């Protein structure tokens, strides 16, 4: 299993180097530049619908922020191949006007994501796809801390009336049954408690397929991202429907 392999590789190097990819500062710049590129595209396309007709006010792009680690940021991929970029493309192809901002930072734990929540999810955000927890599991962080951080994010987003899709993660099986049970239970329990749209495992159908992962065995290839987008798309559409319902449109 991918997480088992990742755990073994982590033990061979200092903990500081065992992240999902680039340094946080580098990926912050990457995430901001990617968000800018996607936002500009949304502005350019936002005035015209897929079939060339002017968009009505209710059709103006929804702002979705993908808040995560390097699985979201797109480690090893061109900016147009990242999960947020590919997701935006898939939604536009279905006639759903969106602006998906890339707020993925390599190496981020849940606590890191909670610390940067305010600047990563700006005012005017309609929905968040929350993909964090993989680095917590790889580092063996106490599940109580992971749960607490996720709950902080979910609570603050609820207070801001931002809809959330929570993407689940799974712990390495060699962490032991007690750790695995405690970690894996975090995501469905919090999704239920906070009424979030829930996708059980972000890497479903990709994590164990060598053809869909880069040589490091941790990060999806462009084809792997396509597979993730295809699987998660119905849940994202459910998220969009919630936002539209809250708008009354």
Task: Write down the catalytic residue from 29, 142, 216, 249.
Answer: 216
CA 91, 93, 99, 101 torsion-angle sign? positive
- State yes or no: is 79 an active-site residue: no
Task: Write down the catalytic residue from 111, 184, 219, 226.
Answer: 219
User: Is 185 within 8 Å of 147 (Cβ atoms)?
Assistant: no
CA-wise closest residue to 99 among 126, 130, 72, 70: 126
- State yes or no: is 226 an active-site residue: no
Task: Write down the catalytic residue from 70, 82, 106, 111.
Answer: 70
Instruction: Check residue 61 and report its DSSP letter.
Output: P
- State yes or no: is 216 an active-site residue: yes
CA-wise closest residue to 201 among 230, 170, 229, 172: 170
User: Is 114 within 8 Å of 149 (Cβ atoms)?
Assistant: yes
Tokens at 72, concatenated: 């979201």
Residues annotated as part of the active site = 70, 216, 219
């Amino acid at each position: 299993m991918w997480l088992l392999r990742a755990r073994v590789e982590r033990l061979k190097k200092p903990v500081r180097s065992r992240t999902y990819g680039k340094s946080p500062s580098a990926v912050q710049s990457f995430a901001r530049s990617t968000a800018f590129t996607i936002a500009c595209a949304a502005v350019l396309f936002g005035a015209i619908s897929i079939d060339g007709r002017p968009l009505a006010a209710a059709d103006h792009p929804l702002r979705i922020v993908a808040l995560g680690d390097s699985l979201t940021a797109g480690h090893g991929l061109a900016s147009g191949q990242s999960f947020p970029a590919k997701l935006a493309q898939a939604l536009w192809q279905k006639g759903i006007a969106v602006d998906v901002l890339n707020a993925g930072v390599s190496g981020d734990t849940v606590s890191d994501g909670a610390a940067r929540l305010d600047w990563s999810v700006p005012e005017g955000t309609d929905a968040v796809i929350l993909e964090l927890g993989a680095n917590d599991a790889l580092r063996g962080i106490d599940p109580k801390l992971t749960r607490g951080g996720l709950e902080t994010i979910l609570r603050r987003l609820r207070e801001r009336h931002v809809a959330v899709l929570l993407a689940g993660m799974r712990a390495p099986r060699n962490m032991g049954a007690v750790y695995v049970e405690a970690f894996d239970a975090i995501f469905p329990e919090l999704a239920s408690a906070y009424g979030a749209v829930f996708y059980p495992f972000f890497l479903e159908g990709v994590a164990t397929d060598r053809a869909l992962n880069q040589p490091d065995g941790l990060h999806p290839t462009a084809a792997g991202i396509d597979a993730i987008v295809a699987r998660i798309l119905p849940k994202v559409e459910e998220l969009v429907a919630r936002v539209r319902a809250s708008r009354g449109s």
